[in-house]
Structures are given as structure tokens and as C-alpha cells.
Amino acid sequence: MIILLVYHSPIPVKIRIAFRRKSPILKKTHLLPVDTPQPSTRLWWRHSSFIALGAALFYTGYVFILDGKFDLVSLAKVMAGTANFLFAASFSLSALGYYFNFLDSKIIYRKYLGLLGFFASLIYSLLLPLVRPERYFYGFFENFWSSDVLLGLGSMIIFAVMAIISNNNAMQAIGPIRWRAILRLGYVAFFLLVLRAYLNNENPIGSDPRPEMWAAYFAHPSGLPPVRLFLSFIAMAVIFLRLSIEFDKWRKSSAAMTTH
């Protein structure tokens, strides 16, 4: 009854708007937007930046424990680890939101965590010619067809495309369905990086001038796992999480078909 009186009253529009804004009854029943500040883009950037800083501090300690020092090579490893974590957090939010409803309000952070992950991976890529010029600067074209460069470059291209289209204008131009499909290529990029690390675990690639030798570590595990191995564990966990969703959807659709 109150709603009908408000919307169909002969009171002039300006007076009715003022009445609606000040009406405690309507505010109490949540029929009007209460004058509370909405989360802003600046706030989302700030929260995501704090997460990125925490990840960078964690990997700084991780790399320092492994290497016993901290130099430009160590900084590159920290950037790789930070990018890995931010991408994993971005991809996992949508996947975990499938299972846990309380994370629905956090889905907005996917974009900001993903963009910060791209920036960190870009810094890592720019550091590579400085720490390994014989491979990534004047030796770049000589090693271009190696799995190290091809898989790494392929994943960076995918991440760059995702960063470029991470806005509403791109979604409207491409279409929501195609837009989501392109963003899901991030899982492919993650897998390419895992494949790159596995194929080259016996080669000194990336910012590490020494091979990681995964087989030797698995045979005699001692201390923290090598950086690329640790990052690969995280990436594969995210990929398996996404695959679990697809499997669950398939299971539910199969069960629905059998019941009809």
C-alpha cells in the first residue's frame, strides 16, 4: 500500500523523490537504496595490491632461503612467483565460487588480481634479458624455436590478450559468450607454463642459471622445492580445480538426462 501511494500520488515528482529518500519506512524495508557508499574501483585496486604485496614478500623470503642471497636474478624469481600466485588467485575465485556461495561477492577481484599478475609477469619478462642476455637478448633468435621461448611467449600472448579485453567495452564488442571463452584461455596459458617448466627442468631457463633437476629433488627431497616446481604445483592445482567443475557439470547433466 505504501508503494502504491508513493508512486501514484499526485505530489510533484521532486517532492516525491525527497519523500522517498527520507522515508524511514521504505529504507527499513530495503525498497530504496540506503545512502551507503558503494565499493569503488580504487578500493578493489587497493585490496588487490595488498594481496600482491603479500605474495611478493612471501616469494622474497622463499627465494632468499633457496639461494642464500638476493640479487637481480632473485628479483626476477620473485616476480615470477608473484605473477603465478595472482593468476592462480584470479582463476581460483571463479572456480571456488562454484562450490562456495560466500565467495560470490569476491568475484569482482578476478579482474584486478589478473591484471596485477600480468604486470608482474611483464616485469619478469623484461628482467630476463638483463639476467640472461646470452639467451634472451642477443641470443634470443638463436633460441627462439626452443620450448622455453615458444611456450613462454605463447602464454604471455594469451595473458596480454586477456588483459586487453578485461573491460566492459571489449565484452560488448566481442559478446559475453566469446569473451568468457577467451578469458578461459588463461588455463591453457597456465598449462603451457607447467609444460615449459617440465620440459626444461634439466636446463637452465628463465631467470635461473642452474637447472632445477626435478627427478633429483623427488629422489632425495631436501628443503624447499625449486621455484619452478613449486609454481607448477600451484598452477596444476588451479587447472584440476577447473576440471573438477567441468566434471561436476557433466555428472549433473548426465544424471538429469537419465531421470527423464
- Please report how many Cα atoms fall inside a 13 Å half-sphere around the Cα of residue 144, on the Cβ side: 4
Q: What is the pLDDT of residues 96-127, one digit of tens each?
A: 888 888 888 888 999 999 999 999 999 999 99
Say what the alpha-carbon torsion angle 111, 115, 121, 123 is, to the nearest 10 degrees: -160
Q: How much is the pLDDT for 16?
A: 40
Model pTM?
A: 0.82
Using pLDDT thresholds of 50, 70 and 90, give the confidence band for residue 208.
confident
Q: How much is the pLDDT for 210?
A: 87
Residue type, 170: A
Q: What is the pLDDT of residues 215-249, one digit of tens each?
A: 999 999 988 999 999 999 999 999 999 999 999 98
pLDDT above 70 (res 28): no
Residue whose C-alpha cell is 638476493? 70
- DSSP string for 112-170: HHHHHHHHHHHHHHHHHHHH-HHHHTTTTTTTTTSHHHHHHHHHHHHHHHHHHT-SHHH
Q: Give the C-alpha separation, 231 to 88, whole Å.
A: 10
Q: How many CB atoms lie within 10 A of CB 89?
A: 23
Across all residues in the chain, what is the average pLDDT? 85
Could you tell me if 111 and 170 are in contact, meaning their C-beta atoms sit under 8 angstroms apart? no
Q: Give the C-alpha separation, 66 to 78, whole Å.
A: 12
Q: Which residue did the predictor score with more confidence, 244 or 10? A: 244
Q: How many CB atoms lie within 10 A of CB 127?
A: 21
Q: Give the C-alpha separation, 67 to 189, whole Å.
A: 28
| Local structure of residue 107 (DSSP, 8 states) | T
Cα–Cα nearest to 156, from 200, 181, 126 = 126
Q: How much is the pLDDT for 94?
A: 81
Contacts of 215 (CB under 8 A, 6+ apart): 201
- Please report how many Cα atoms fall inside a 13 Å half-sphere around the Cα of residue 212, on the Cβ side: 23
What are the domain boundaries of the chain? 1-36, 42-259
* Largest Cα–Cα separation, the chain: 84
Phi-psi sector, 210: left (phi>0), alpha (psi -120 to 50), beta: beta
Q: How much is the pLDDT for 39?
A: 58
Which three cell numbers mark 32?
530504496
Q: How much is the pLDDT for 3?
A: 38
Using pLDDT thresholds of 50, 70 and 90, give the confidence band for residue 24.
very low
